[in-house]
Amino acid sequence: MSNRKEIFKIAFAYVGVIVGAGLSSGQDILQYFLSFGTPGLIGAAVLGVLNIIFGKIILSLGSCFGAQSHQEVFSHITSPWITRIIDAILIAANFIIGFVMIAGAGSNLQQQFHIPTWMGALICCALIILVSFLDFEKITGILGIFTPIVIVMIALISCVSLMHFDFDFSTLSATASTLASPMPNIFLSVINYFSLCMLTGVSMAFVLGGSILRIDTAKKAGLLGGSMIGLVIMGAAFSMFANIISIKEAEMPMLSLVAKISPVLSGFYALVIFALIFNTAFSLFYADASRFAKGNTRKTRIWMIILVASGYAASFGGFKDLISNLYPILGWLGMIMVLIIAGAWLLNQKRVVQEKYIRRSMVHLFAKKKYMPEYYTAVDQKKLEKLKKLSASPSEKLVSNIKDYGRQLEEQLKHPKAIMNYLKSELPVQETSSFESA
């Protein structure tokens, strides 16, 4: 896989994790932002910027520590007792938001196709369990497959809304301000909802980051994914604000908006929303299952069945009510985690850079051992073992990622000389970097 292709694949998967039932349906944006009128649009823009910044941070930290669960990252960046608290918060939040997503799946299919809510939720649960039996590479591909579609759909809706927008901001703002909000002001709403977004996505985002060998690739994927989330947020916020009078009471406001444009298009968008709901629900349950199973594939699948079945039973509280009652509480809990992640990023900059060059050196040594064995010495082997110990990533996971990267280079470049030249130009090694004397 080329570096650019990997960046897009991970970025699309990251968007698929974050953009679930609330964002794609518009219900979250309606309650948290548009309920404040025109200032809500500014708040939505700030939310987009925060997603760009933290997309980069979270995927980079996941890559740096070779994460297979959120616990592996937090154990490196904070104290054991804080790690245990965050671990408990994330496990609970993943399950709670997971069953809210299942409720959203039922509401979505009921509103558009008149399928009973319980059946729509059950279909979503069955798909989650089935996909959990695939390997992680295929799972990552599935998580990102609908991201380009939703971006195009939001762009189309935004353009149509702009064409029919009468720019009567005062009337639209006054109408929007009649909506109930879970927060007292837009400032707290941005903080609370962003923390909720991070709480929703951080566990799976760390795991996505952990699958990436090159930390620079993780950074770029996070920036790209965060930018796409920002575009989705702003496009959806503006479109709903322009049509607030007609969609303010809808359970799925974006779906109602699309139905005004075209009944055929609304059917397609309902399926896209369902797919994004599935993405987020799967990611949340998978993160918890992976945490409980400690990386064991068989146990992960068993836990998936248990968690999803429990989530289905808990999903009958009503999508709209679940969002307004549960999300604010989770948002405040998430703010603690966001502050810890931001602090860890600032304090671990040197460590992240060091890890990048450790991996580059290891890639060069593995390539030398395979393609130039006559020049590979005992000193090289000793250096390789030292680098494994110095790395922040578990050795077994790191070596596996390096070998996967090597296979990808072989598929693309074919010839050993071309591979060695590529590594020399694309992955230069700083022989004098600090880890050499560590």
Please report how the helices 186-210 and 263-293 are oriented relative to each other, as an axis angle in degrees rounded to 10.
60
Structural domain including 386 reads 351-437
pLDDT tens sequence across 101-151: 888 888 878 877 889 989 999 999 999 999 988 877 777 777 777 778 878
Last residue of some domain: 322, 347, 372? 347
Per-residue pLDDT, 20: 61
**Extended strands (E) in 42-187:** none
Q: In a 3-state reduction of DSSP, which class is residue 431?
A: coil
386 and 320 in a common domain: no
Q: What is the CATH number of the domain that holds 78?
A: 1.20.1740.10
360 and 334 in a common domain: no
327 and 368 in a common domain: no
pLDDT tens sequence across 175-205: 888 888 888 899 999 998 899 888 878 888 8
159 residue type, one letter: C
335 and 361 in a common domain: no
Backbone dihedral angles phi then psi of residue 53, each to the nearest 5 degrees: -65, -50
Per-residue pLDDT, 432: 42
Residues contacting 264, CB < 8 A, separation 6+? none
* This model's pTM is above 0.85: no
Q: How confident is the model at residue 433 (pLDDT cuts 50, 70, 90)?
A: very low
